Amino acid sequence: MTIPPAQVGMRVEEVDTPALIVDLDAYERNLDRMVSSLGGSSVRLRPHAKTHKCPIITHHQVSRGAVGACCQKVGEAEVLIADGVRDVLVTNQIVTPGKIARLVALAKKAVVSVCVDDAENVRDLDAAAGPVGVRLPVLVEVDIGPHRCGVDPGEPAVALAKLVDSSRHLRFAGLHAYHGKAQHIYALEDRINAMEAAIGLTAETIRLLKEAGLECEVVTGGGTGTYQIEAASGVFNEVQPGSYIFMDVDYKRVEGFPSTFENALFVIATVMSRGKEHAVCDAGLKASSIDSGLPTVWDRPGLAYLKPSDEHGSLRSTDSTPLPRIGDRIWLVPGHVDPTVNLYDWFVCVRGGYVEAMWPILARGALR
Ligand SMILES: Cc1ncc(COP(=O)(O)O)c(C=O)c1O
């Protein structure tokens, strides 16, 4: 890990840049908003840790009622479980012998479940779970529209579920039905329409499974952009939003209930050069991901962040706003939260102008 950019008790102005800042008040309001938005419903909250990769944050979520966490990688699950998280769903296919061995070893230490979309993979998981003495809960992933992973809904999903159910060391736990593409459909009506079709496919698969004598204990899906739609469907009993804790430029464009969450994550940067028409700050491509669009400048209307290169970001005035001066600090809202977080070792957590906590991003780089 790199040297922390700040120490607890420092004034925010003293934090070295670029650094990843969490506005604790906004973050805590986001945590609470998620809980109250699900209030009164029996739908369980299992937030995705791919957003933050930080066990401290999962503990905050669990202390507010989440049943556990989702992870995308075995390495992320290892970090969370080593830090005391008791229930982790790996929302992914784990296929190589080494990773499968690590997965079943984890299932000795905590409740660990995993997704499948292939018969050979089911047989490999079963073969690995037996000698370790675990009965691994397995969810069949169904492709309800995004065409990423997942078996087709309906009969193909039922056939795979039957194979899981007949495997001695596996337990059929239900369906994983996540529509990644729908999360960022900006118009609420279009998003609802996309999810209506997806929820229909999920419901029909559940019906066919029931006919085959298989009950779904868990039906899980839903990110920040759609979780309220799954939660209200009567079909899903678990949702797995991640980005809501921090938000980003792209998610703020998503109309409807996601917009109730606040920006709580920022990259702070320092201006290090100034020309006639632009200024240059110390946050470029290695400080903020641009796969979903450029960062925006927080609280400085009239100032745009443009043309990042590896270690440089250009700032231009879009009206008559004066350019910032050398040494000025600017706060950027990342275009996309998850890959930005993965660039840092530390969250610098601030409240009232001071650094209140430093949280290590322990699963940063846990890509395996
Ligand atoms: C399977 C799965 N579940 C949940 C999420 C969380 O989604 P979001 O960050 O949009 O809330 C993701 C994000 O990519 C995901 O891949």
On the question of a cis peptide bond just before residue 241, with omega within 30 degrees of 0, the verdict is no
| Residue 1: per-residue pLDDT | 73
- For tokens 């290892």, name the residue: 78
| Residue 156: per-residue pLDDT | 98
CA 145–ligand 1 middle distance (angstroms):
15
Nearest to 219 by CA among 230, 208, 228: 230
- For tokens 């419903």, name the residue: 41
- How far apart (Å, rounded) are the C-alpha atoms in residues 340 and 333? 10
Residues in contact with 265: Cβ distance below 8 Å, sequence separation at least 6, in sequence order: 20, 21, 22, 23, 27, 246, 247, 248, 333, 334, 337, 340, 341
3-state secondary structure of 309: coil
Q: State phi, psi for 189 to the nearest 5 degrees.
A: -65, -40
CA 17–ligand 1 middle distance (angstroms):
29
CA 269–ligand 1 middle distance (angstroms):
28
From first to last of its 368 residues, the chain has per-residue pLDDT tens of: 788 999 999 999 999 999 999 999 999 999 999 999 999 899 999 999 999 999 999 999 999 999 999 999 999 999 999 999 999 999 999 999 999 999 999 999 999 999 999 999 999 999 999 999 999 999 999 999 999 999 999 999 999 999 999 999 999 999 999 999 999 999 999 999 999 999 999 999 999 999 999 999 999 999 999 999 999 999 999 999 999 999 999 999 999 999 999 999 999 999 999 999 999 999 999 999 999 999 999 999 999 999 899 999 999 999 999 999 999 999 999 999 999 999 999 999 999 999 999 999 999 999 99
For residue 241, give the ligand 1 atom closest to its CA.
11
| Residue 293: per-residue pLDDT | 95
| Residue 5: per-residue pLDDT | 98
- How far apart (Å, rounded) are the C-alpha atoms in residues 40 and 309? 48
| Residue 264: per-residue pLDDT | 98
3-state secondary structure of 220: strand
CA 93–ligand 1 middle distance (angstroms):
15
Residue 223 near ligand 1, beta carbon < 6 Å? yes
For residue 241, CA distances in Å to 120, 165, 229, 324 come to 30, 28, 12, 37
Helix/strand/coil (H, E, C) string of 315-329?
EEECCCCCCCCCCCE
- For tokens 């903020």, name the residue: 288
Residue 242 near ligand 1, beta carbon < 6 Å? yes
Residue 292 near ligand 1, beta carbon < 6 Å? no
Residue burial 214-231, b: 16+ Cβ < 10 Å; e: rest: bebebbbbbbbbbbbbbb
Nearest to 76 by CA among 101, 51, 39: 51
3-state secondary structure of 301: coil
Q: Residue 253 gets which letter from DSSP?
A: G
- How far apart (Å, rounded) are the C-alpha atoms in residues 280 and 282? 7
User: How far does Cα 215 stand from its chain's mean position?
Assistant: 28
| Residue 6: per-residue pLDDT | 98
Per the DSSP assignment, residues forming a β-bridge with 151 are 142
Plot region of 289 (φ>0 → left; ψ -120 to 50 → alpha; else → beta): beta
Contact 227, 178 (CB under 8 A): no
Full-model pTM: 0.97
Residue burial 56-72, b: 16+ Cβ < 10 Å; e: rest: ebbbbbbeeebbbbbbb
